[in-house]
Structure 1
Amino acid sequence: MQWSALLAGLGLVLSLTPAQAMISCQPVKPGEKFVSPIVNPGKISPIDGTCWVNKLTLTAFDDAKLTANVFLPRITRVDQRFPAIIMVNSWALADFEYLGQAARLARDGYVVYSYSTRGFWQSEGQVEVAGPQDIRDVSSALDWLQAHAPVDMKNVGISGISYGSGISLIALAQEPRLKTAAALSTWGNLEDELYGADTANQTWSDLLVNSGKLFGRLNPIVPAYAAALKEPRTPKSKIDEIRVWARIRSPLQYVPMLNARQAPVFISKNFQDDLFTPNSSLEMFRRLTGPKKLLVNQGIHAVTEVPGALLGADNYIYDQAHRWFDYWLKGEPNGIVDEPKVTMEVKFSRARDSFDDYPASNVLDHTYYLHPRGAVRWDLSCWCWKGGVGELASTANQQTADDWIDNAADTTATSGPIPIFSTLAESANIPIVNWLPSVHRGQGVRYEGPWLRDALRLRGIPKLTLKLKPSQPQAQLVAYLYDVDGLGFGKLITHGVRTVVDARPGAVLDFPIEFSATAYDVPAGHRVAVVLDTRDSLYAHPSDGYLDKRLVFNGHTQSTLILPSIR
């Protein structure tokens, strides 16, 4: 009894069983300078009672040693137990990533355990890309918490940004000791993110592979698969092999398991995330039947979350995630589950719209029909030249014509003149602007809608359906959706892409293109336009040779643009 009292007085906590000792912290000695738990690890803060312990080792199931740290809340009794959150690092980062947010959570009564996933920084093993070994490591982290920290094991959550978010969702589906997850900048279907619409995201793929090599030890299969996806001559059997590999690393595949246990899921996504586009996460959210919450924000991959994670800065996303954990792990009746399930931040605005679910009941599809530009010609009906631009109309097309373009050069349409940085600038309200008449007719085609009488409030995933006749087995179309003013200047709303590498030359293909999800208000007096061209610096191109293609129009099959909008 005297020993327990002494330990409590010193700020030490030991297990009451013969098991290993729990994590210990020391009080600040008289006259000892204390700055913060981060500056003074292992010391109990005289300000808020929290303590940070670093340089921990998590021994995984295969004896791999992973680096870790833990934040402890104020402890006043030996038998005290707290809810806990496991935080899993982003790609190429380490367990220090969440120090700011972990400190905030600890002040609010949580044990926060962060570890570096295998293969990154000083953690042993190889980077397995959210594979089965990574999921087993989460179980090892839970074992560690149970043995070494004052944790209420009935109230443990998990969270991560990017790489850590996917691991969190898959682990939640498989590990019954986890109660809920908050997945930020996550992915739903890794197949879609690596090779969506049969297109390799060259820019982000190169960034991931190179940063992985710099800060970790990649399983050799990772750069090999990335290279194979960028190579148009890669055989279908290899592509199928990569799809299988990606499928088991896709949280979307584990939705039935999440639904079976009705696990609460919090998801945050960013609209300009060209690495993990919002679309597959929206589909995952749609399929979830348990308690769920979705935030969709403006910003590129992970950029909106990192200040809150590392610095503990005020952050809308983390504030909501904190409320989510408070409800599910602490039982606080804060109303978060009674609020609308979905919020979307409008592009170039700080306004947020709330929705009952996704898809939302008040968002309906607005359909435009594409009419061909056709050949350059003098039209006596209007006493004007035609053939420079196609039309987006409310009535079905009845013309028979082909719109022809080739890949001899790029056009002025782009997802961003400087990949990643241009999209990042959109978060600072700097739009990607193009003067649409500058799109060269030989390599691009544009279709423009009528001037809007009322604002068009886009919310969701725009979709194009096209008929394409390629001259070669390879073809790629990039579609750009613009908000166009009276002078012809267009702000990029969103874009999409599709590639084919095994087409039959001269055959007409169904060629759907799904744009990346958006929330954007096209003002009255402007109009919507679509530009199609054959390449974008963000994506791997299917051929270095000359390719031409025809967009086929007739009155029997319609090419359409579907815009989900608030009515």
Structure 2
Amino acid sequence: MAEPVEQDGMLIEWDVGIVMDDGVAVRADVFRPKVQGKWPVLLTYGPYAKGLAFQKGYPSAWQAMIAHHPDVAYGSTNKYQNWEVVDPEKWVPHGYVCVRVDSRGTGRSPGHVDHFSPRETRDFYQCIEWAGVQSWSNGKVGLNGISYYAINQWQVASLQPPHLKAMCIWEGAADWYRDMTHHGGILSTFWANWYDMQVKTVQFGLGERGPRSVVNGALVCGDETMSDDKLARNRSSFGDDILAHPLDDDYHKARSPNWDKVTVPFLSAANWGGQGLHTRGNFEGFVRAASKEKWLECHGLEHWTHFYTDYGRNLQKRFFDFYLKGEANGWAEQPKVRLQVRHVDRFVERHEADWPLPSTAWTRFYLDPRDQTLSLAPPAEDAAVSFAAMGDGLTFMSRPLTEETEITGPLAANLRISSSTEDADIFVVFRVFSSDLREVTFAGAIDPHTPVAQGWLRASHRKLDETLSRPYRPYHSHDEVQRLQPGKPVDLAIEIWPTSIVVPKGHRIALSVRGKDYAWQATTGAKLSNFKNELLGCGPFLHDDPRDRPQGLFAGTTTLHIDQKGFCHVVVPVVRSR
């Protein structure tokens, strides 16, 4: 291992080996203050290659971010910017050590790639414990990162590493089945495509075929150049592995947190526009983790942006200064929930005591078959309304709202349906329309035209976990398949992920009941360099694998059965005005 180099006001150690219990040495870059001392550590462990510059690996995201948020680039040379982890130039001067570890099999760390597996979680645990006993460490390790670097914090916290003292989970899903791979039991194709675009491209062993670090010139993906066959043998068949586990079995449970074991203090930061990955887990973690010291924040915009802005970084710094440095900065006294409440044209910050919000008035809006309206009163007559089971479905729209209305929290749709086949996939979209019937969409975590909220359910997965379910947040067990009898109605309770929107007077709310993914327009031209698909409203979080949705089973006719008792309705979290 080379001696530390002094560079840009920091001491930097490149490619430090951390030996795991099976002898594999994963590799880390360590950025620390020049002054001798013992410092708290911010650590990340993940697959995006510590040597790949943000600007080179994710150019479209970087350019958009600094164009609209110049504070991100200000005060740094930006030479050490990496995708979804902290900029050491903005942390080391404040008395932190930043450690970036390439996860097993990626970047400059050898080994077999198996994302979120128990092996990876053990590696992460051992990296934390290694960092906690180094000569430059004060023994307090914090975890801070976005997406992958947030998701795996929940899992490793379940193992309770002794030196882990605080973590900031910035837009990190938690439940491997419900948040990530199977929305309502329907396979998400995101992970298979992500694997191709963001992991295989930086796998250890690409060597000379991979990029070089713009800072130190090292080969980003290791010094050995392997054949395609050897690279394939050194990684899991990720998409196929997920497809092979359609129920929430031991495979998924081994990649999900044990909430009773998550006891470390944490800040959980969600994104209202993160439908499909970057919303649900942050709220579930805040509600269900055993930690006594936990805070929830939720914001908007692209999922990487506020992690790097002064707003996000200062929030993270206050949290870590309190837990890793012991600074008396008042963090413990601040309200548990901090929201950037979303309006159609801005965000307004507000602090709350708990989640769901104590001031919520859970309000039922009923599906009315007459003119497909959404009403506060149940319909006057029974009706059966049908649509193509893999088509655009039906939209039920309210009359113009008579006053400004805030909707903040989780939602739930209760539907009675039948199918001409033995199954049906239901996609529900909660939407807002202006007075002239133009849909209001938002810059989401990934997609620039994200709807207000979404939910999904495969009818054969309708079984509820009665212990965990709430009227406003159904929780499905996903442990057995209950086929439909063609033509016979069944009742579905569909979880719609949390959202926030202050709907202006005169606007309308709507619920679309569909048989396929939401699409804002047929074409948008919107693309990001790290995703395969055009961004049409759902970003990369699509549900279109024909192996999971065979035509013979899903391409029939779906019928909504609406009655005068109002069974078909959506539960909406209307926040009482103060």
Question: Is 2:426–2:459's contact at 8 Å kept on the other side of the alignment?
Answer: no
In structure 2, what is the equivalent of residue 152 of structure 1?
138
Determine whether 1:83 maps to 2:40.
yes
Determine whether 1:451 maps to 2:400.
yes
Residues 324-335 of structure 1 mapped to structure 2, 5 A cutoff: 324-335=319-330
In structure 1, what is the equivalent of residue 285 of structure 2?
284
- Name the amino acid aligned to 1:87: T
Residues 539-550 of structure 1 mapped to structure 2, 5 A cutoff: 539-540=543-544, 542-545=549-552, 546-550=555-559
Question: Is 1:209–1:223's contact at 8 Å kept on the other side of the alignment?
Answer: no
Distance of aligned partners of 1:536 and 1:152 in 2 relative to their CA distance in 1, 3 Å threshold: same
Aligned length: 452
In structure 2, what is the equivalent of residue 245 of structure 1?
251
1:477 positional shift? 2.1
Determine whether 1:61 maps to 2:46.
no
In structure 2, what is the equivalent of residue 207 of structure 1?
194
- Name the amino acid aligned to 1:496: G
In structure 2, what is the equivalent of residue 498 of structure 1?
457
Distance 2:136 2:162 in 1: 19
Distance 2:515 2:335 in 1: 40
In structure 1, what is the equivalent of residue 148 of structure 2?
163
1:277 positional shift? 4.2
Question: Is 1:187–1:250's contact at 8 Å kept on the other side of the alignment?
Answer: no
1:164 positional shift? 1.9
- Name the amino acid aligned to 2:550: S
In structure 2, what is the equivalent of residue 43 of structure 1?
6
Distance 1:532 1:101 in 2: 43
Distance 2:133 2:498 in 1: 44
Of 393, 401, 424, the residue aligned with 1:475 is: 424
Question: Is 1:55–1:67's contact at 8 Å kept on the other side of the alignment?
Answer: yes
In structure 1, what is the equivalent of residue 493 of structure 2?
512
Question: Is 2:385–2:559's contact at 8 Å kept on the other side of the alignment?
Answer: yes
- Name the amino acid aligned to 2:434: D
Larger Rg: 1
Matched residue of 1:516: which SS?
A: strand
Distance of aligned partners of 1:167 and 1:270 in 2 relative to their CA distance in 1, 3 Å threshold: same
In structure 2, what is the equivalent of residue 7 of structure 1?
none
Of 110, 135, 145, the residue aligned with 2:121 is: 135
Matched residue of 1:461: which SS?
A: strand
Distance of aligned partners of 1:147 and 1:528 in 2 relative to their CA distance in 1, 3 Å threshold: closer
Distance 1:150 1:295 in 2: 31
Q: Deviations over 1:521-561 (max 9, x none)?
A: 11001121112221127222623354101100123461111
In structure 2, what is the equivalent of residue 267 of structure 1?
268
Q: Deviations over 1:369-393 (max 9, x none)?
A: 21223xxxxxxxxxxxxxxx32222
In structure 1, what is the equivalent of residue 524 of structure 2?
none
Q: Deviations over 1:88-143 (max 9, x none)?
A: 23x43436637752222211111221111112122111222222222222333244
Distance 2:95 2:165 in 1: 17
Distance 1:82 1:565 in 2: 46
Q: Could you list the runs of 5+ residues in structure 1 that have no partner in the other structure?
A: 1-20, 26-41, 229-237, 309-313, 374-388, 412-443
1:266 positional shift? 1.2
In structure 2, what is the equivalent of residue 18 of structure 1?
none
Distance 2:184 2:278 in 1: 12
1:500 positional shift? 3.2
Distance of aligned partners of 1:208 and 1:563 in 2 relative to their CA distance in 1, 3 Å threshold: farther
In structure 1, what is the equivalent of residue 311 of structure 2?
316
| Larger displacement relative to structure 2 (482-491 or 204-213) | 204-213
Of all paired residues, the percent bearing the same amino acid is: 19
Distance 2:397 2:28 in 1: 55
Distance 2:497 2:130 in 1: 40
1:464 positional shift? 0.8
Distance 1:139 1:532 in 2: 43
- Name the amino acid aligned to 1:336: W
Distance 1:136 1:204 in 2: 22
Instruction: Give the root-mean-square deviation of aligned CA atoms.
Output: 2.5
- Name the amino acid aligned to 2:285: M
Distance of aligned partners of 1:272 and 1:127 in 2 relative to their CA distance in 1, 3 Å threshold: farther
Question: Is 1:365–1:563's contact at 8 Å kept on the other side of the alignment?
Answer: yes
Question: Is 1:295–1:317's contact at 8 Å kept on the other side of the alignment?
Answer: no
Q: Deviations over 1:260-307 (max 9, x none)?
A: xxx20111122222442412331221123411111212135x42256x
Q: Deviations over 1:357-412 (max 9, x none)?
A: 21121222121121223xxxxxxxxxxxxxxx32222122341110111147x44x
Q: Deviations over 1:316-363 (max 9, x none)?
A: 223211211100011112222222222222344132232112112122
Question: Is 2:404–2:502's contact at 8 Å kept on the other side of the alignment?
Answer: yes
Instruction: Flag the structure with higher helix content.
Output: 1
Distance of aligned partners of 1:205 and 1:75 in 2 relative to their CA distance in 1, 3 Å threshold: same
In structure 2, what is the equivalent of residue 179 of structure 1?
165
In structure 1, what is the equivalent of residue 50 of structure 2?
94
Question: Is 2:31–2:97's contact at 8 Å kept on the other side of the alignment?
Answer: yes
Determine whether 1:345 maps to 2:337.
no
1:226 positional shift? 3.3
Distance 1:534 1:359 in 2: 29
Matched residue of 1:462: which SS?
A: strand
Question: Is 1:273–1:299's contact at 8 Å kept on the other side of the alignment?
Answer: no
Residues 373-412 of structure 1 mapped to structure 2, 5 A cutoff: 373=370, 389-407=371-389, 410-411=391-392
Distance 1:73 1:449 in 2: 58
In structure 1, what is the equivalent of residue 567 of structure 2?
558
Determine whether 1:528 maps to 2:512.
no
Of 359, 364, 367, the residue aligned with 1:367 is: 364
* Structure 1 consecutive aligned stretches of length 4 or more whose deviation exceeds 4 Å: none
| Larger displacement relative to structure 2 (361-370 or 483-492) | 483-492
In structure 1, what is the equivalent of residue 299 of structure 2?
297
- Name the amino acid aligned to 1:392: L
Distance 2:493 2:155 in 1: 30
